[in-house]
Copies of this chain bind each other. A is one copy, B any other.
Amino acid sequence: MESRAIVTSVENHVEDPEYRAGIIDLLGALGLGELSAFQRLAADAELAPTLADQAALAGMAAAEYRHFERIRDRLAELGVSVDEAMGPFREPYAVFHAKTAPSTWLEGLVKAYVGDQIGTDFYREIASAVDEDTRALVLEVMADAGHADFAVDRVRAAIEEDPSVAGRLALWGRRLVGEALAQAQRVAADRDALTSIIVGSAGRPGMDLAELGRVFARLTENHAKRMAKLGLAS
């Protein structure tokens, strides 16, 4: 990913209120994503077959909370409260999680892994379009919270034991991506400032359609690779 950052921090960019609004939206969406992930991982931990597994998911939740804290602190530096910045994204995340509430431990694991990673990929792509300070923060909070190895290990073992679960989990993975895309589109339609960070605005270049297409191709490709790693068709 090539950097298109034209400034080193949001503060240096006060002459462009739309850019500042877009960054606050970006941090708000990202921060609420971390807080929602905390809530979901904590809830899904209760589906765990053993206390050790429950603790492993609780630990991932705690890692997401620490990421949330970093975003909250950055928003405070920018003089924006958690509720102001994250409030607008409450509904889309709530709908996504309500529509993808796992009913089994394995569904919870696939969601923790696939859902988290596709979000990570997406925010990393956006990071290429923002100032250096914001990019560093986004990349930092997108660092792996340990979901990957744990989920891959447990899901593969479950499929080995009972191959029939693979079909249902593959469908589940498709549903997760579908619901995530539906909510992402809704956010893109509602939040102009956020969208303008990606596609640009007068005086600030952004991605053109061909670049956007490549971004989505990369997201889909990485998703398929992760499903394969779990032993699932995508």
Contact = CB atoms under 8 A, between A and B. Distances in A.
A227 interface: no
Interface stretch (A2-10, A43-51, A108-116, A144-152): A43-51
Contact of A42 (B43, B51, B81, B82): B43
A72 interface: yes
Interface stretch (A16-24, A62-70, A171-179, A204-212): A62-70
Nearest to A90: B51
A165 interface: no
A86 interface: yes
Interface in A47-97: 50-52, 54-55, 58-59, 61-62, 65-66, 68-69, 72, 81-83, 86-87, 90
A65 B69 contact: no
Contacts of A87: 51
Given A65-B62, A83-B50, A55 B35 contact: yes
A69 B59 contact: yes
A166 to B, nearest CB: 27
Contacts of A32: 51
A35 B54 contact: yes
Interface string A139-166: 0000000000000000000000000000
Contact of A58 (B35, B46, B58): B35
A183 interface: no
Contacts of A42: 38-39, 42-43, 61
Nearest to A66: B62
Interface of A: 32, 35, 38-39, 42-43, 45-46, 50-52, 54-55, 58-59, 61-62, 65-66, 68-69, 72, 81-83, 86-87, 90
7 contacts: A35-B51, A38-B61, A42-B61, A43-B43, A51-B82, A51-B87, A59-B69
